[in-house]
Chains A and B, each alone.
Chain A
């Protein structure tokens, strides 16, 4: 492990932390354009974070230590996930710590902690949000696992760097199963990141909210960390998607000079710009589902992923 790889590792993590709010701001901006509203400036999320960090925390009298620790744990897991996902380069010393399945586990840890924190104050909305979020979570996980199965069948590995290297080695070989898997992954991404059609990040309408209901009791620096980690989560999911389906441009083994890294960063930014615009388009075109419809939506994602798997097995056999 040379000093260069460590520098590259830290650089990637800092890049993720820095541009995750920007990505969220970009989606908000695209949404505003599509809905012909005046868009907030691109740096609005950073202003928000600054404001929140300056305020005093208003903490419920009966909040326990678990409630106060959770924002830090959320931020920690999401930063760690960013260190593991090969968003710029594959030759990362941290990437071997967890494969894609362990990455799902890491996200699940964050979800469980946030749900427990939401139940800690003992308000009606907090526990309702926790219950709903855990429900979405347990429905989304099987679908996500099927997507990863697909990637494993194609590359023989669940470690994301190996997946990227396998698919960049044969850039022209596109398996039809990937199309199904990509659609399924997109559906899971929307559900897991509390976006339309499962949840609306812009609403505080009491009876329909999920993520917002859970973070209702957080304020100031705690809220800032929670928001920042949701932005990081969306960024991480997008990068997992790029690694699985659009790995072009990521600096692989051997090609780790400054030039390749520069290309990789530019490729990442381009992909994020396009993906953000696409997400905003999807969100503007679709309506929020009733909570009872969420199982059907996620079952659909699951079936698509299974279909991809079957297509691969049938064509491969």
Chain B
């Protein structure tokens, strides 16, 4: 038997039992987590044995996800011997789940490897317990993707929220972190409530809560719209769509860096998954105004996130706001897909959905990479504030190089992966004039401009992020002692960076993976027939792109130029002090700070912020300049709601007099009322 034959037979056998194998791997995660409790305080055992094993399990999950995508056969369904007597758990693996499993496994492997080097003993939760919470979190995300009935889905959805809550509050002795955790839990539950209600509407009066039954239910346009809106609010709260985003910039930075990476890179994607599952799979009709709504929310979130990221001074908060921006871009793609699908243009819907899916995958890679890099910086310097970093490229060359790849990727620059998805999304915007609504036709190109503004602003934010942390002079003398990441951390970072390069250079791979999904959901794929180094989603005459040739071209020209310069001229270098227009006295305080980099944005987008400025008087001998920037929505939307709830609670509190006689009176009055009612 030849090798190819053997491999293909092996693959077929594997893909037949794909779902059970994935479930076994997920069980493996849970076992690893439980094993952490054996020796909860032994860092060496937890970090160097359990986390690397978890990373291997993640690679397995990604592998099985890829096989299920390539197989492209009909979905596998399994009835689990778990749950309540009349409500067993259903699991199902189709191409949509497989795509998100692939995403989970790819990014999860890098994050777990990094975490093996990252977690050390210290204050806060014991490492063993952290290991349990971490692996339960990973397993629950995998199960959310596999769940096939509303009951199972809600159980694992809540497990995911709770386990991540415990991870966020692992440094629970710090009051701000407790507060961030509470806000996160609150928003997670409001979201979960909306999702529950959405499932309640979706079952359509037949009281069958399997997704299969929901697919068959026929809803009136009104109830379909209600289910869609509830799902949008529920999953939007998890994904961090504006105005439901307030928890995100608090909770993501509060967690340890690998957990921030899991939350930003992976957990937000479960919300994207849920949104796609309900909109394109469970609901059988779609209306164009849904698309416009999602498109508007997505574009606004994207711009909002980018603007707020530009004015942050804490590196992890900056990345959290950038997550809002990227989620906005993903929802923009989903909105366009709904719009095209509702207008009977499935090819363009497939293009927009492909862009959204690939951007989800990309974001899980580069955002994890950058969050992990901030973790290394945090370990090396004990600083999170951008104002106290700088010049780390000379002390931490490994982290700086790998973070540069992530920075260029998230800034949407060719030939890396961020560019591929943004290019696809802009391409799908180009076809909006085909939509048969004249008014929309004129407005939607402006959406493309807004997207271009956001993407360019993201590049600005990322230049700020990278430049202030890694370039320039050290802003604090203590940074001289910063050390590079250890080898496990480097492997984790390099894995994610390689992913960014691979998708950027061979976008056809990602396009095929997303194509399997769009084939299931829309019955249509974009043009996949070009070779692997080339993409031309609609037609090659219309637009085409090749990351591989672009990279090869740049490398080739750079190489030739370098050799020519050396041969025709020379390579002499003299090291001197910096020039800077001849100013002799240069200190590190003269560089642009993070605030300085945010200044043009504050100037231009003033109405977005609530700013409080304290300027020194001219006579001050020790002048201080202070600026405090706040989200307007917090005061406009959340504080009034919080006050309303407080007032309502106060009124209800009046009932609780605390005196037994009054409570007896309540019982008496209730009895009388009931008697009147009965008689």
Contacts and interface: CB of A to CB of B under 8 A. Distances in A.
Interface in A230-252: none
B592 interface: yes
Interface stretch (A31-39, A142-150, A254-262, A263-271): A142-150
Given A58-B574, A158-B543, A145 B448 contact: yes
B562 interface: yes
A127 interface: yes
A101 to B, nearest CB: 5
A309 interface: yes
Interface string B441-474: 1100110111011011101101110111001110
A119 B472 contact: yes
Interface string B571-595: 0111111111101001010111000
Interface string A75-119: 111011001000000000010111101100110110110011001
Contact of B580 (A77, A101, A112, A126): A126
Interface stretch (A20-28, A128-136, A172-180, A276-284): A128-136
Contacts of A306: 445-446, 449
A108 B456 contact: yes
B540 A96 contact: yes
A119 B456 contact: no
A146 B573 contact: no
Contact of B579 (A83, A145, A216): A216
- Give the one of B404, B449, B462, B591 with max A CB within 10 A: B449
Given A122-B391, A159-B544, A292-B603, A127 B576 contact: no
Nearest to B566: A221
A76 B70 CA distance: 37
A99 B545 contact: yes
Given A62-B473, A101-B423, A122-B472, A152 B430 contact: yes
B578 A157 contact: no
A75 B558 contact: yes
Contacts of A62: 391, 394, 473, 578
Given A99-B545, A102-B414, A153-B433, A112 B463 contact: yes
Contact of A108 (B459, B464, B468): B459
B467 A73 contact: no
B591 A141 contact: no
Contact of A123 (B430, B452, B580): B580
B463 A156 contact: no
Interface residues of B, number: 82
A125 interface: yes
Interface in B400-416: 404, 408, 411-414
B569 to A, nearest CB: 4
A41 B126 CA distance: 74
A97 B549 contact: yes
Q: Which of the listed residues B427, B456, B457, B588 has the most CB atoms from chain A within 10 Å of its own CB?
A: B456
Nearest to A93: B549
Contacts, number: 242
A140 to B, nearest CB: 8
Contacts of B659: none
B553 A80 contact: yes
A76 to B, nearest CB: 4
Contacts of A183: none
Given A80-B550, A109-B414, A60 B459 contact: no
Contacts of A120: 393, 471-472
Chain B, interface SS category = helix
A313 B573 contact: no
Nearest to A13: B557
A141 B588 contact: no
A121 to B, nearest CB: 5
A101 B428 CA distance: 12
A122 B390 contact: yes
Contact of B419 (A73, A97, A105, A141): A105
Interface residues of A, number: 79
B467 A127 contact: yes
A52 to B, nearest CB: 9
Contacts of B455: 141
Interface in B597-649: 597, 599-600, 603-604
Nearest to A117: B471
A29 interface: no
A88 to B, nearest CB: 18
B581 A157 contact: no
Contact of A134 (B449, B459, B554, B603): B459
A96 B419 CA distance: 17
Nearest to A213: B581
Nearest to A124: B590
Nearest to B466: A116
B83 interface: no
A108 B413 contact: yes
Contacts of A61: 575-578
B671 interface: no
Nearest to A146: B449
Given A112-B413, A313-B442, A77 B554 contact: yes
B670 interface: no
A97 B544 CA distance: 6
Nearest to A156: B542
Nearest to B430: A152
Contact of B393 (A66, A125, A152, A313): A66
A101 B426 contact: yes
B396 to A, nearest CB: 11
B561 interface: yes
Contact of B456 (A77, A122, A142): A142
Nearest to B391: A122
A60 B472 CA distance: 11
Contacts of B577: 60-61
5 nearest A-B pairs in the assembled complex, by CB-CB distance:
A122-B472, A138-B456, A127-B592, A122-B473, A119-B467
28 contacts: A53-B569, A59-B574, A59-B575, A60-B576, A61-B575, A62-B391, A66-B471, A76-B555, A76-B561, A80-B553, A83-B553, A94-B549, A99-B544, A105-B414, A109-B408, A115-B467, A122-B390, A122-B472, A130-B467, A138-B453, A139-B456, A142-B449, A145-B426, A145-B452, A162-B541, A216-B581, A306-B449, A313-B441
Given A106-B414, A122-B471, A131-B600, 4 more contacts: A57-B572, A66-B404, A99-B545, A156-B542
Interface of A: 53-54, 56-62, 64, 66, 72-73, 75-77, 79-80, 83, 94, 96-99, 101-102, 105-106, 108-109, 111-112, 115-116, 119-128, 130-132, 134-135, 137-139, 141-142, 145-146, 149, 152-153, 156-159, 162, 204, 206, 216-217, 219, 221, 225, 292, 295, 302, 306, 309-310, 313, 317
